[in-house]
Structure 1
Amino acid sequence: MDSIIFDLDGTLWDSSDVVVVGWNNVLSNYQGLVSAVTKEDLQGIMGLQVYEAGRKLFPNIDEDTQQRILRECCEVECLCLAKQGGRLYEGLEEVLKALSVKYKLFIVSNCQAGYIEAFYEYHQLQKYFIDYENPGRTGLSKGENIKLVMERNHLSSPVYVGDTEGDMKAACFAGIPFVYASYGFGEVSSYDYVIDRLDGLLGLFDE
């Protein structure tokens, strides 16, 4: 194994406390059309692309309006996260520092452009990662973005770490092993490895 590609939400951090405030500030401008969202609502769409999130959160309005509202929400959430950050999972920087000595590290998330950058800007963790990708920049699925990162960085044997069924399917699409972060937001039907806390990655591949 030469590298580890990470999901972001539910794997490296939980941004929902900050994001729910920003989203509800936007949604308050659409009273009568949509309702306020909860942290649980947001955690339920983690890992979905924006158009999928719109259909799940606002099924009773037309798709154009869904996407307009979500674009506003996404812009606000990136601004908020760049200023306030999110809740990093315990020991994140120590784990990344140790892993980066042995492996090349990457992020592939189903987020909008600017989201991973906000994670980097506030928490200053970009020094541990070589590259990142998301559908906001490429328009591709998570599996396709994993393959894109693999190809442009000449990775021969990466693994993907994530917390949802979509993450598992993306790793399968890319043809690489999947590490299930069971402490995250989702459940999965299968996995190659499982960790119940982030530092479970340390030594996992030495077994």
Structure 2
Amino acid sequence: MHDRGQEEHEVREVLLVEDNRIDAQLIRRLLRRVSAAYYRITHVRTLNDAVLSAEELSPDVILADLNLPDSRGTDTVTSLQTAYPDIPLIIVSAWEDEAVSLRSVKAGAQDYLVKGHIDGANLHRVIRYAIERKRTELELVRLAQFDQLTGLPNRTLLRERVNHALARAMRSGSGVATLILDMDRFKEINDMLGHEVGDKLLIKAAKRIRANVRDQDTVA
């Protein structure tokens, strides 16, 4: 969590996905009126351009209309969340519809704002909260799926990835390779030198193994 002093000097990279020029200009003006943070805004008009731009920019947040020239409704949310699940998404739409709002949030949007009912302070607050919620969400996922000592996937994530690999192999008719490693006399190291030394050994071993496998391989 950032304190206010840090936030005032922090640049937020915003990807604005809006095909209506007037609406895009309005959002720009709203954010520029906010003095608590500085926003660097990149504006695109289509979903395809949004996907390409997000790859290049790695924005802190995406503000998107639901209806775009190449995507409509909650398909926009699904597409953006599928492509970039780690980037918080806020929908800014003309649809003042509770059902649409709920479907958007269920599809992965952090929030749903209605055009004409937002001001700069409100938009700034929503962006801040969305970014912090996404950070918390990703941290909870990390804690649930990765070993805190080595940073490697834990047993739960390993099982999930093995199941995916086996399913993919069955569909394609290919194979899956599994290698099991064991540390000789590791218990003796713990008993003689202490668990702190044993932990350091595990961390170093994990780093060495990861450095010698492909990105698509799983070390757990």
**TM-score band, normalised by shorter chain:** 0.3 to 0.5
Larger radius of gyration: 2
Q: TM-score w.r.t. structure 2 length? A: 0.32
Larger relative contact order (C-alpha < 8 A, sep ≥ 6)?
A: 1
Q: TM-score w.r.t. structure 1 length? A: 0.33
